[in-house]
Amino acid sequence: MGCHRSGTNLLYDTLLSAGGFAVYRGYLPVYKILIPRFGSLDKLKNREKVAEVWLRSKGFRRSGLDASLVRSKVLNECRNGGDFMRVTMDEIARQQNASRWAVYDPDTVLHVPRIKREIPNAIFVHIVRDGRDIALSLMKMGGFRPFPWDRRQRGLLETALYWQWTVRRGRSHGRQIPPDYIEIRYEELVADPHRVLRELGGFIDHDLDYDRVQQAGLGRVRESNSSFREDPKESGGNPVNRWKEKLSAQEIEKLESTIGNCLQEFGYELMVPAAERRSRMRDRWMGKLYPTLLDTKFFLKIKTPLGRFANLSALELDSAD
C-alpha cells in the first residue's frame, strides 16, 4: 500500500517474482467500491449484489476461478470485506498450489484498521516515496481531483497535499499495529534492493532473493510504468529525485513551504533553506482545507448512503446478459 505513484506496483510485482505467492494480476476494491456501493456483507441481499457485479469484473476474469464456486463462497462464507478478500485469494492460492498471497491497492492505507479487524493475521507493507516526485508524477497523469464531479485539474500544491494526507494516514494506522506494519522507502528499494528485500523478507518471514526476483521479472520488475516513460529524454533515466530537474525553483519552494514538515517526518531533506521558505496565506489556507476536505470525502463514502454512488468503472465490467 502507499500513495498512488509511490511504487506499489513495483513492490507487489517484486513479491510475486520472489516465488511462493499466488500470482494474481487483478483488482479487489472491496472496501473502496463494492461495500460502499452495495452495503455491508452481513446481509444476504448485499452479498448477492456484490457477487453479481464481481463475477462481471476484470478482476474476476483474471482470477481464473470458477464462477459458481466464487458465488457460493461469497454467499455462504462472507460476512465482511475481509472474508471476501480471504476466500477469493485463498482459492486462487489453492489452485496455484501457492503457500501465500498478497494483494495490492494504494488506497489500503485508508482502510488498515478495518482490514486488521477482519483479517487479524494481516500484515501491511507501506511504500513511501518523496512527495515532490509524487506530485510531479500525478500532475503528469492529469492531477488530483478530490471529487468525481470536479473536472478542473488540481495544481501541484493540492496534489502534494493529497500525498501528505495519505502517508500520514498510513503511518498513523501503522503505529497502532507496530508488529504488523513496516515502511519501505521507494528510493532505497531502487538504490539498494538487496538490503531492502532482505529486511522486508525478515519482516514477512519469506525469502525475497533479489537474483530470483530479477530472473522471474514479473510485471513492473521488468517493465516500468513511469508516467514519464514516453518522454525520449527519460530512456533509462533515474526515477529518483526527478523533481530536481523538472520543477522550477519557485515550485520547489512552494512545495517545501507547504509539505516540508511532512517530507522531513519521512526522512527527506529539503532543498530550500528555512529562511527562504515563505508561508503564503493562500497556501496555509489550502494546507488546512485539503486534509479536512479529504477526510470529509472519505467519511461520506464509507459511512453514509452517498457511498451508493461509488463509480464501478474501475471494475471494467463486461456486458450484463
Q: Span 244-248, mean pLDDT? A: 92
C-alpha cell at 254: 512552494
Query: What pLDDT is recorded for position 111?
Result: 96
Note the pLDDT of residue 235.
47
pLDDT of residue 218: 85
pLDDT category of residue 280 using cuts at 50, 70 and 90: confident
Inter-residue contact 248 to 43 (CB < 8 Å): no
Q: Please report the DSSP string for 233-246 in residue order.
A: GGTT---TTTHHHH
- Is there a contact between 18 and 55 (Cβ–Cβ < 8 Å)? no
Best CATH choice for the domain 8-215+238-315 from the list 1.10.3470, 3.90.1690, 1.20.1440, 3.40.50 = 3.40.50
User: Is residue 181 helix, strand or coil?
Assistant: strand
Instruction: Give pTM, 2 decimals.
Output: 0.89
Instruction: List beta partners, residue 183.
Output: 126
Res 149 pLDDT > 50: no
**Between 151 and 248, where is the model more confident?**
248
Q: For residues 79-86, give the mean pLDDT.
A: 96
Q: Residue 182: is its pLDDT beyond 60?
A: yes
How far apart, in Å, are the Cα atoms of 139 and each of 41, 107, 155, 160?
A: 36, 18, 7, 10
Mean pLDDT calculated for residue range 227-248: 71
- Tell me the H-state helices in the chain: 8-17, 35-38, 44-54, 58-61, 67-77, 81-96, 112-118, 131-140, 156-174, 186-191, 193-204, 210-216, 243-246, 249-265, 281-303
228 neighbors 242 (Cβ within 8 angstroms)? yes
Torsion angle, CA of 74/80/82/84, rounded to 10 degrees? Answer: 10
pLDDT range class, residue 143, cuts 50, 70, 90: low
Residue 43 phi, psi dihedral angles, 5° rounding: -110, 130
Q: In residues, how long is the chain?
A: 321
pLDDT tens track for 192-226: 999 999 999 999 999 999 999 999 888 778 776 55
Please state, in angstroms and rounded to a whole number, the distance separating the CA atoms of residues 93 and 102.
10
Domain assignments of the chain as residue spans, ordered by start: 8-215+238-315
